[in-house]
Structure 1
């Protein structure tokens, strides 16, 4: 408000000054555009001041519009010209002789660090930004994730759900591609989301939900893409923050951010350490039919964990000149995890307890991730003409030792089995990427290349105790070495334009995928056949595919638009999906990959509608997807039993079916005042699957939905209170039905130390209801019921956290800048870039 009054006063002063001048004086016009020097965002309400050199009391000028443009008329003469915007350094030209119209071109204003602490915050950052191919959610203000992980933060993003196993879904579909800063990264894990449970949520700046990806993005992920953008402070000088969190059950974390920026370079660093002991539990009630030895087995599981780790992200951006820069960064994540699962089992025959056993699995995992990245960018001009190039190398090493001890406790106390499982996985990834952008007026042309090259080696060894000799003997039927290579080369081009109220982005991507797998014994001898299944142990596959994308937006008016998107996507089987050798989590459950898997392909359509009022924003979409050759897990009997007569069940992924999914999602953001912010979202989807395997029909039809609500209220004494509620409706696939699930998070926050510090208390899963409850049925090829499983699993119990963050030379909030500072709480930027 202060700034708008200042701008209004400048206009009024200029008006009266102009009126006081000679009416017949020659008029000249001064034009140009004002932008943020760092983000290139236009600055609305920037002030242009023309002060006469001959008569300093003669002042005229004007302000910029929503696009940062200005057009000021004045009498011909000599002026001192100033371009000013609150919290920015003033741009000044002295003694300019204006005898004819002058175009100042693009004026870049840089932040003035010395003034930032005095700035009055007049608006908060946008909650959502809508682009042609994505929606961008700023998550930095989420109090409920303070001291939490990236997975916690993602679970509060509309359209996204994270189940208790850590699996991430987009619109209910788990085949989602996770990127960090637009690229696959060791930070997110390669094909695994476990690392996201270790990285701090404080490192996130925003999350891009890309349900209709443009051709710039790789075609992997039939559900779409989640791009996690990490913080990198852009303020000049030295600044940073430190965040300390402690919690119950036993949890602690410290994260520091440091940034040093000059006109020549920007040095940034994030350092973190965490220690957690999140307890979990599970219950399984399995019933067997058709002459099984046991007709019922009940399992009670208690899970205790101890996870500790260290992560480091350090880098420097060096500005070669005003147009180009080179950024080098190094990331490392070291973690040491120990999970102990105590499984108490009761076995029944004719409803009577036949035996009781106790199984303890002690799993220790040592995980090391390293990543080196190099980025070059050359901005040929300020209109968006640029070239970027990226090189990236990542190394991941996971060393796992699992010790399993199983004893019978009734009717007698005897040792059943003792096993040691050694798993060593190393993965090397190389990324080469180049992108070229050429603006052509309102249009834009893009082209690029990307190469992803992955080499993975998995060693699996199972040693079983021979009670006769009291020695561990290697099981050569299950032990193996699997070498896997995946190379993806892609080129793309896309063209976007805006004509009046209509914007479009058309793209085409060509991808070639090469998959090579080889299996060996532990001594290096090749393996040609896998016991128990009819698949080739070794494979060499090559796929070539075209992936078109179409994204359209029509602006009904300034605050309302309709969007349409189409894209074709691919789901490639990952390494563990096609590793033909079985591995097992217990003596009775075996997981086996399938090298015969082929990629699944999906065609997706999306129609969106956005409407904004002064304090309310409504965003919605209707979507449809058809996926062919979709692969799913099936559970079936192997025909084998353990030494004590229990049937062994195999889980295996297959190209099972054709899936069709359609749904609707909508979200409301209501900000009735500066002290109250309300957000709600709802997603409904229906799923059809047709397919059969070994004479068994696995077709399924299911509807499900999920909804979330978030409120943030400023209480007296400037205490912020935030509540997040989430409910996921019942769902089912070809074999399993899952019940609905509700969770509630609560947080309170208070600024202290002249707003340089913030203390936050939050509770995750306040009611301790975040549990998966499901029911599974399995039939044989005659259609007879073989077994059922009724189970409940809770990965993490209710968590209490208290955290303290201290900032130095880094204000908590910054005055809204450019398009982000609009009254409707959203940015509808028709940006063609991916």
Structure 2
């Protein structure tokens, strides 16, 4: 919003100049016409020769960050009705042509103190140099959320949360930090949803990335939260974004320091259950280049537990109770090294290399008690040890060229990502009652390789008050899964390969896209209209011991394991916003977009994988993409100490995915029925919802914020003769407070509650959690000590009930127990950005900027 409003203001000024200065306006002015009063449209060549240029650069006073769309306003002293001006470009640069004379000049940017130069005489062209603006204290108080430099900005197509330093995520991961962003929810297993919908697209710096795990959320558990600058919540994406993700997009922007010189920070943490880590962010910036690096190492023990109470309507056992204990030991190292080289004043080339390696050692112990009627018949013990090694690489190149001083710009990107993950598991299950006998001993090998290429080009053409954009993006991804299962033949004492499960599956997803969009402003009304054309190819190739007929007979399903599908789709977008005042304190917005949800390789792979002998997951090659149409109506209101953001939304999705459970008709060697989970295209799904967020700063020492989201979804569809339609309502709420105590101590509390929810077969109880954090600045504010408690009440547990015609399962699952983390951060050549020290006064005084020419 900070950037949008000055742009709207400048366009309004231009409109006002045109409206107030008709060709004959000079004859009605009391002053004698002069060069300084001549309308630009009426200028003669002689007068044009006397015109001058006023230029300069606008930056944030504290951070040194450039301010795009800051506004220069020139008001003629001789003719106050005559107003001229312009806006800064992507480099924070402005250049305005005007007639010589005396003007009241001001430079404005929403949320910052206006810099004023009263009665300044401009007789010749001048470069004002660098103008530094300070954040207005009154504006800052209205937009604080939590932590340092935490604000919310509302744009035509997204909300931006500058999450700064959230105390409760010190020593935590990006996945943890996302759970504190309004509209976002991260469940106990790390699955991310937006407004209750898990089909959300995760981007890093605007692009699909190996850092985000190619759409998986696993990688986000490895990256440090300290690396985040801000998170863009894009619920109504414009045409410049991929159409993937029916819920919307979460774009995670990583830090890249812009301050000149060498600076950075080092952060180390230790915790219980056993965890430790260290993260370093360093940056070297000169006039010609900028080198940046983030490197971190992480170790964590993540003990968890689960309980399942399963009852069956058929089979040998009437009831099976499972107690699971999870012991996870995760080690990870990642580094991101990049350099930006300024080729000219208007162009730059940025290259970066990202590398992540991780080694996970997991041990799951599962005790089963099996009942016939109410009598304990037998007991088994299952132990699964899994070692997972993963290496990810990413190479990125970005070229930016500002073609002219009017803001015409061309950018080009290339990115290559590779991920190689190897899992080796040993599964042993044996009876412990009435006798100690081996049931099964298995070795599982799984190797998943992912390769992705991205090519992108974007063009921006300002046209007076309007702007035109066009571009191309190509995403080419290949996922190869090599799965082998060897089982011990107890008769021979040899391991035998299970041909029914061993396979190699190659899945390609190729997307070529063209887009164009156009935006304009008419007074307080702005719009952005776009259209995106995407061609999608989904291709699967199965290599196994079976041909397709044998494969169908073995699994008992009629599907095509080898396929090559192509889709061509148009995805229109429209975003509107109306400003009720010139200060941008109140607006209403409306967005519409069409989106697509493409099935990933895991949902497509037809060979089953299993979490136990009795439960398997099988992909469905017959899955087609799902499509959605979504509408969003938003309202924003800022008061001096209070900010309200709210919206209501509706989404209709066709061919929506739904995971269903059904019997396979097979039983284990000890007569337990085997259950299969499979994703299907359900017919339709309708979602309705409303959300609201409040940010309140009653005093300098207290900051409060809360958000609430309520939604309802209704789905309908039939699969294999079973009606899986459902109608469900749910909600979640989030509250946070931050208190500044004496002696530079900060205290933060975050609380979260997610209401009960249900699907076609499963009902899940509400979920509640509280996090606490304390921090203190030391070493002349160059260092910070912090302590946080995650899940204070040890209550972040998922409890659910699944009911079908053939079995009922009651379960409780806790991914990680309550944890404590202590963190020390040291900053060098980089003063801490404290909220209360970013400028004083009433936010409207003169002389709050300064020239640094």
TM-score bracket, shorter-length normalisation:
0.7 to 0.9
- Report what 1:13 is aligned to: none
* Cα separation, 1, equivalents of 2:238 and 2:639: 29
Distance in 1, Cα, partners of 2:363 & 2:426: 10
Q: How far did 1:387 drift?
A: 0.7
CA-to-partner distance for each residue in 1:380-434, whole Å, 9 max, x for gaps? 2454321110000000000000110111100111111110110001111000000
Is the counterpart of residue 793 in structure 1 residue 813 in structure 2? Answer: yes
Looking at structure 1, the residues matched to 260 and 836 of structure 2 have their Cα atoms a distance apart, in angstroms, of 18
Aligned to 2:607: 581
Residue 35 of structure 1, CA deviation: 3.7
CA contact (8 A) 1:373 1:393 kept: yes
Q: Is 1:598 the counterpart of 2:624 in the alignment? A: yes
SS in 2 for 1:469: coil
Is 1:485–2:505 an aligned residue pair?
no
Conservation of the 8 A alpha-carbon contact between 2:208 and 2:215: no
| 8 Å contact from structure 1 (residues 28, 99) kept in 2 | no
Q: Which residue, 668, 690, 699 being the options, matches 1:664?
A: 690
Change in CA separation of 1:103 and 1:676 when aligned onto 2, cut-off 3 Å: farther
User: Is 1:529–2:551 an aligned residue pair?
Assistant: yes
Partner of 1:162: 186
Alpha-carbon spacing, 1:134–1:819, altered in 2? closer, same or farther (3 Å): farther
Shift, 1:806, TM fit = 0.3
Residue of structure 1 equivalent to 2:245: 221
Query: Which of 317, 327, 351 is the matching residue for 2:340?
Result: 317
CA offsets, 1:126-173, max 9 Å, x none? 510000000000111210001000011000000000001111000000
Q: Of 257, 265, 274, which residue of structure 2 is paired with 1:241? A: 265
Partner of residue 175 from structure 2, selected from 122, 129, 151: 151
- 1:461 equivalent to 2:484? Answer yes
Q: Determine the structure 2 residue equivalent to 1:389.
A: 412
Mapped to 1, the partners of 2:547 and 2:508 lie a distance apart of 19
* CA distance in structure 2 between the partners assigned to 1:378 and 1:823 by the alignment: 36
The number of residue pairs the alignment matches comes to: 761
* Correspondent of 2:373 among 340, 343, 350: 350
> Shift of the alpha carbon at 1:243?
0.3
| Aligned position for 1:331 | 354
Relative to structure 1, is the Cα distance of residues 666 and 100 closer, same or farther in structure 2, using a 3 angstrom cutoff?
closer
> Matches of 1:649 and 1:662 in 2, distance apart?
33
**Structure 1 match to 2:494:** 471
Question: What is the TM-score normalised by the length of structure 1?
Answer: 0.86
Contact 1:43 1:817 in 2 (8 A): no
| 2:58 aligned residue | 36
Shift of residue 672 of structure 1? 1.4
- Conserved 8 A contact 2:149-2:164: no
Matched with 1:607 is 633
Q: Structure 1 CA distance, aligned partners of 2:337 and 2:790?
A: 30
**What residue number does 2:200 align with?**
176
- Who is 2:803 aligned against? 777
Structure 2 unaligned regions, length at least 5: 1-31, 38-51, 60-64, 76-84, 845-853
Task: Classify the secondary structure of the residue corresponding to 1:717.
Answer: coil
Query: Are 1:301 and 2:324 an aligned pair?
Result: yes
How far apart are the structure 2 equivalents of 1:415 and 1:497? 72
State which of 707, 712, 721 in structure 1 corresponds to 2:747: 721
Superposed displacement of residue 471, structure 1: 1.3
Partner of 1:6: none
Aligned positions of 1:385-534 closer than 5 A: 385-521=408-544, 529-530=551-552, 531=554, 532-534=556-558
State the Cα distance separating 1:36 from its structure 2 match.
2.8
User: Residue 410 and residue 378 in structure 1: after superposition, are their counterparts in 2 closer, same or farther (change >3 A)?
Assistant: same
In 1, Cα distance between the equivalents of 2:100 and 2:720? 88
Per the alignment, residue 756 of structure 1 pairs with 782
The question of whether the paired residues in 2 share the 8 Å contact of 1:521 and 1:527 is answered with: no
Equivalent residue number for residue 392 of structure 2: 369
Given that residues 47 and 83 in structure 1 are in contact (C-alpha distance below 8 angstroms), is that contact kept between their aligned partners in structure 2? Answer: no
1:771-825 CA deviation, whole Å, 9 max, x = no partner?
Answer: 100000112xxxxxx110000000011110010000001111179999999979x
The 3-state SS of whatever aligns with 2:558 is: coil
Flag the 1:819–1:635 CA change in 2: closer, same or farther, 3 A: farther
State whether residues 636 and 643 of structure 2, in contact with CA within 8 Å, keep that contact through their aligned partners in structure 1: yes
1:631 matched residue in structure 2? 657
From 213, 228, 231, give the equivalent of 1:189: 213
The Cα offsets for residues 203-237 of structure 1, whole Å up to 9 and x where unpaired, read as: 00000000000000000000000000000000000
Rounded to whole Å, the distance in 1 between the matches of 2:185 and 2:332 is: 25
C-alpha distance in structure 1 between counterparts of 2:35 and 2:562, whole Å: 81
Distance 1:800 1:726 in 2: 18
Deviation for aligned residue 1:41:
3.2
The CA distance in 2 between the partners of 1:383 and 1:460, in whole Å, is 56
Q: Tell me the alpha carbon deviations over residues 312-353 of structure 1, each in whole angstroms, 9 at most, x when there is no partner.
A: 100000000111000000000100001111001100001110
Shift in Å, 1:673:
2.0
Contact 2:449 2:481 in 1 (8 A): yes
Offset at 1:100?
A: 7.0
Partner of 2:757: 731
Contact 1:176 1:224 in 2 (8 A): yes
Q: Distance in 2 between matches of 1:818 and 1:581?
A: 58
**In the alignment, which residue of structure 1 is the partner of 2:831?**
811
5+ residue gaps in structure 1?
Answer: 1-23, 49-63, 92-97, 780-785, 825-834
Q: Residue 109 and residue 352 in structure 1: after superposition, are their counterparts in 2 closer, same or farther (change >3 A)?
A: same
Q: Secondary structure at the match of 2:602?
A: helix
Find the partner of 1:277 among 277, 301, 322: 301
Structure 2 length-normalised TM = 0.84
- Label 1:617 to 1:646 Cα distance change in 2 as closer, same or farther (>3 A): same
Q: Distance in 2 between matches of 1:100 and 1:351?
A: 95
CA RMSD of superposed structures (Å) = 3.4
Give yes or no for contact 1:389–1:434 (8 Å, CA) kept in 2. Answer: yes
Alpha-carbon distance in structure 1 between the residues aligned to 2:438 and 2:197 = 43
2:400 touches 2:412 (CA, 8 Å); kept in 1?
Answer: yes
Asked if 2 retains the 8 angstrom alpha-carbon contact of 1:299 and 1:343, the reply is yes
User: In structure 1, how many angstroms separate the alpha carbons of the residues matched to 2:840 and 2:515?
Assistant: 30
Offset, 1:101: 4.8
In 2, Cα distance between equivalents of 1:545 and 1:455: 21
Residue 761 of structure 2 corresponds to residue 740 of structure 1:
no
1:616 aligned to 2:642? yes
1:545-556 aligned within 5 A: 545-556=569-580
